[in-house]
Amino acid sequence: MDEPALIRAAQHGDLDAFNRLVLAYQDNVFSTALRILGDEDLAADASQEAFISAFRGLNGYRGGSFRAWLLRTVTNACYDELRRRKRRPTIPLEPVNDEEEEIETPRWLADTSMSPEQRVEADELEHAIQHCLEGLPVEFRTVVVLADIQGLDYVEVAAAVRTPLGTVKSRLARARLRLRECLQGFGELLPDTFRLQDKAAPQPAGRT
């Protein structure tokens, strides 16, 4: 895929070219939205909105990482979605069945490439991490999703969340520390390589 050529064509209104870029990045965009929003339907809506906004605002792309630019767009779409959800706070945080009961192993965590046992373990670990992510304030969550899950560098994250670089570093540190504390409660789910120390997380002085 000649990405720069596709971007140039899309900037001139070539929808086919843009759709090839969509197919290349839609998993990245959807995954980011899912980690920030924690709900598959909302994440799908935000992803679709992000691609529409991206196409309409494509002339605002001035080079650099196109993936980072798209993730910035989906971050904005997620913020919009969260604002809407704040106005209408009736959406369940966990998938529920017809009887309004929480589904034990949600469909949105399923991965067909593993054995049933592996899948259960992976699902539970992923569920635990997602649970801890959702416990973070949204501004911390967004930074940690973009930096640690999507692998953007600090400058790209700062541009995506329109925040100074120093604030990004601070939020990332706090988010990692809070996640560490939260994940201690799921110690038995963590794989050996990631097993966290079974002790209370150190409390840095002056913590707020």
Partner 1 sequence: MADPTFRDVEMLSTYLDGKLSQSDSVRLEARLAADPELDSILQDLSGARSLLRSLPQRRAPRNFTLSPQKAGVRPPLPRAYPVLRFASALAAILFFFTFLGNNVALPAAQVAAPALAQDRYASGGGGPATEAPQESAPIVGALPAPTPEMGMALAPPEPTPVPAPEQAKASSPAPFQAWQGALLGLALVLGGSALLVRWRVDRDFKRKTRNLQ
| 53 contributes a contact to partner 1 by CB under 8 A | no
| 15 contributes a contact to partner 1 by CB under 8 A | yes
DSSP state of 96: B
Stretch that binds partner 1, among 77-85, 88-96, 97-105, 151-159 (CB under 8 A): 151-159
| 148 contributes a contact to partner 1 by CB under 8 A | yes
Minimum CB distance to partner 1 smaller for 82 or for 125: 125
Alpha-carbon Rg of the chain, whole angstroms?
19
Q: Which residues contact 143 (CB under 8 A, 6 or more apart)?
A: 157, 161, 163, 168, 171, 172, 175
Cα atoms in the 13 Å half-sphere on the side-chain side of 10: 25
What is the helix (H) or strand (E) element at residue 10, kind and residue range? helix 3-11
| 201 contributes a contact to partner 1 by CB under 8 A | yes
Residues in the chain: 208
SS3 call for 71: helix
Minimum CB distance to partner 1 smaller for 89 or for 92: 92
Q: Which residues contact 176 (CB under 8 A, 6 or more apart)?
A: 144, 148
Minimum CB distance to partner 1 smaller for 89 or for 206: 206
| 79 contributes a contact to partner 1 by CB under 8 A | no
Stretch that binds partner 1, among 60-68, 80-88, 93-101, 193-201 (CB under 8 A): 193-201
Task: Select the residue interacting with partner 1 from 126, 134, 138, 139 (CB under 8 A).
Answer: 126
How far is 194 from 154, CA to CA, in rounded Å? 24
| 111 contributes a contact to partner 1 by CB under 8 A | yes
Instruction: Name the minimum Å distance from CB 144 to partner 1.
Output: 7
How far is 49 from 111, CA to CA, in rounded Å? 26
Q: Tokens 């017809």 label which residue?
A: 98
Applying CB under 8 A, the residues found at the interface with partner 1 are: 13, 15-16, 18-19, 22-23, 26-31, 34-35, 40, 44, 47-48, 51-52, 55-56, 108, 111, 122, 125-126, 129, 144, 147-149, 151, 153-154, 169-170, 172-174, 176-177, 179-180, 183, 190-191, 193-194, 196-197, 201-202, 204-208
